[in-house]
Chains A and B, each alone.
Chain A
Amino acid sequence: MKHQHIKELIHLSFLDELTDDERQVLEKHLQSCQDCQGEHAGLDRMHRLVAGQKNVEVTDELLWEARRELRVALRLEQMKRSKWSELLERINILSHPTVRYAFAAAAVLVIGIGLGYLMFVPSLPVSHFVDTASTEGVASQRGDTRVSNFRFVRQGPEKGEVEFSFEMVTPIRMKGNVNDNAVQRVLAQALLNDQNPGARLLMVSTLANQVESTRLPDVEIKAALIRAVRSDANVGVRQEALKALQKFPLDGEIKQAIIYVLRYETNPSMRIDAINYLEKPVLAAKTADQDILDALKEKMQSDENNYIRIRARNVYEEVKQQ
């Protein structure tokens, strides 16, 4: 224990941290203790080696250089800081209570106006909708317009210019004669768009029953019926559409639609209807239409239905004999 304490004193003696009393104690002990003398000698040697270490000298020149470099670094930092502080000062204005309350009040006002506008804005005007009210004998009544699926497309380069898309639904109740062209056009549009096959069937049946064969078909109605006969998913709708088309005089578009049915329709009853329809005008015209002949020939050779093959052959040969 004593040696441990003395060794600590030896260390401290080399660090010049001994009191006079401690120094006396150490000197006295060292005179009689060889072990501690060895410790002292070892440390003395180590201290001489360390003290002989050539240190970096802090000259005036080195100090001057360090000061000069520090001045440059401080100036650079001050330049950077002045830009930042300018920006921060502007931001810090917002932290002032008065300004903060003013901003909050303005924000509440803007939100209130926005909400009020959304809640009480009048219905948007209907600009691209078929207005049938002006048609003679047809009365329509509009319900409330609903705007949905609003999408902001872009903001134009000119001030205030914007572009957006939306869906507008206005329920309309219409009353009129099915022979009225306006009513028929609405029905034709609905035939193309309505998702309910029952509703489509009703529409096309109504059209089929009321179409007058003496009148030239309306372009939109004819297009809707042709599209229905070619591609409606419901066979009943296709059949009714074919029935309606048969009431129109044969023209190029209707002829192609009937030939399409003959060639590609999966329902054999409709293919037979198509042959029956084509037979009459071809025989009446006493001239052979090459497109019809080709379709009949194809069917008499390859249709899977025996009756259709026979029926197609009969019509084909009859036409050929003319």
Chain B
Amino acid sequence: MSEKEFLNNSEAMQELDLIQRAKRGDMGAFEQLVYRYDKQVLSIAARYVQSSEDAKDIYQEVFMRVHRSLSRFQLRSQFSTWLFRITTNVCLSHRSRRKRHMHTSLDQEADDEHGYSLAEKLKDGGAADQHAESSDVALHVQRALENLSPKQKLVFTMKYYEGYKIREIAEMLGLNDGTVKRYLFSATKKMRSELKEIFGS
């Protein structure tokens, strides 16, 4: 057994021990379990919702769900797989609650501040490069992201911003690799189309 394998096995045993103790109600063990993965959970949430407050909401919801259902977790999959599946589910449901509000607020903000919509402004605004350098780029990328379906957006952000492999995303979402690829390609196509309208070819 190589040193790496030994360490991996040791890690896995430690995790198993923490899970068993947490299942029996040991809050210290639960916290240690949380700290192993919580940065990744918060990061996925933050990339997905683009808001630190919303990311914290998702983070809390994920670990509350984990805490409530840990007693039913039967170790049929890795803890991390189970945890990230919960994370993606919470993200998807969170997005569906916020979608309308997000669209409205983006439109309102644009109208309130500039007196006309951002799309109109951009159409009238001249060269794409000028806009690319402005803060409006982020707003438009964000808006284009919001126009994706929840799964397209989640797959897209996990791939582009978190750098997960297609295989890992597929495992987290409980999908096969081909389906994840399709989500990625369709998301990219849609993003490109939306951004092309604004910034030109």
Q: CB within 8 Å of B: which residues of A?
A: 8, 11-12, 15-17, 42-43, 46-47, 49-58, 62-63, 65-67, 69-71, 73-74, 77-78
B169 to chain A minimum Cβ distance, whole angstroms, is 10
Whether the pair A49, B56 counts as a contact (CB closer than 8 A) is: no
A55 to B141, CA, bound (A): 11
B8, CB-defined interface residue at 8 Å: no
* Cβ–Cβ < 8 Å partners of B91 in chain A: none
Contacts of A15 in B (CB 8 A): 159-160, 166, 184
Q: Mark B51-67, 1 if CB is under 8 A from A, else 0.
A: 11001100110011001
Is A56 a contact partner of B51 (Cβ separation < 8 A)? yes
Within 8 A of A (CB), among B3-22: none
Least distance between B80 CB and chain A CB atoms (Å): 17
Residues on B with beta carbons closer than 8 Å to the beta carbon of A12: 181
A-B contact pairs, 5 of them (CB 8 A): A17-B165, A52-B141, A53-B138, A58-B55, A67-B35
Whether B188 lies near A66 (C-beta < 8 A) is no
Q: How many A-B residue pairs have CB under 8 A?
A: 95
Q: Contact between B188 and A43 (Cβ–Cβ < 8 Å)?
A: yes
Complex interface: chain A residues within 8 A of B23 (CB): none
Q: Chain B 28-49 against A: per-residue CB contact (8 Å), 1 yes, 0 no?
A: 0001001100110011001101
Residues in chain B near residue A54, CB distance under 8 A: 138
The minimal Cβ–Cβ distance linking A59 to chain B, given in whole angstroms, is 9
In the assembly, what is the distance between CA of A296 and CA of B38, in Å? Answer: 110
Q: How many residues of B contact A (CB 8 A)?
A: 43
B73 at the interface (CB under 8 A from A): no
Determine if B127 is an interface residue (Cβ-Cβ < 8 Å).
no
Question: Contact at A63–B38, with CB atoms within 8 Å?
Answer: yes
Q: Are A66 and B42 in contact (CB under 8 A)?
A: yes
B38 to A74, Cβ gap below 8 A?
Answer: no
C-alpha gap A49/B140 in the complex (Å) = 10
| B161 close to A (CB within 8 Å) | yes
B79, chain A: closest CB distance, angstroms: 17
Cβ A49 vs Cβ B185 within 8 A: no
- Report the separation of the CA atoms of residues A123 and B192 in the bound assembly, to the nearest whole angstrom: 95
Candidates B56, B184, B185; contact of A62 at CB < 8 Å: B56
Find the residue from A46, A57, A69, A71 having the highest chain B CB count within 10 A. Answer: A46
**A56 in contact with B55 given A49-B132, A49-B141, A67-B38 (CB within 8 Å):** yes
CB of B90 within 8 Å of the partner chain: no
Is B60's CB under 8 angstroms from A73's CB? yes
Q: Does B27 contact A (CB under 8 A)?
A: yes
Residue B191, interface by CB 8 Å: yes
In the complex, residue of chain A having the shortest beta-carbon distance to the beta carbon of B59: A66
Chain B residue nearest in CB terms to A12: B181
| Residue in contact with A66 in the complex, picked from B51, B60, B138, B184, CB distance below 8 Å | B60
* CB neighbours of B195 from chain A (8 A): 46, 49
Q: In the bound complex, what is the Cα–Cα distance between A16 and B164 (angstroms)?
A: 10
Q: A65-B56, A69-B56, A70-B63 in contact; A51/B160 too (CB < 8 A)?
A: yes
- Answer whether A63 and B39 are a contact pair too, CB < 8 Å, given A52-B137, A53-B141, A74-B27: yes
B201: nearest chain-A partner, CB-CB: A42
B142 CB-CB contact with A under 8 Å: yes
Q: How far is the CA of A99 from the CA of B120 in the complex (A)?
A: 75
Q: Which residues of A contact B188 (CB under 8 A)?
A: 11, 43, 46
- Verify if B84 is at the interface (C-beta below 8 Å from A): no
Closest 5 CB pairs of A and B: A56-B46, A46-B192, A53-B141, A66-B59, A66-B56
CB-defined contacts of B185 to chain A, threshold 8 Å: 8, 11
- Chain A residues within an 8 Å CB radius of B138: 52-54
Distance of A63 Cα from B36 Cα, bound (Å): 12
| Chain B, residue nearest A48 (CB) | B132
| B93 adjacent to chain A (CB < 8 Å) | no
Q: State the CA gap A55–B137 with chains docked (Å).
A: 12
Separation in Å of the B186 CB from the closest CB of chain A? 11
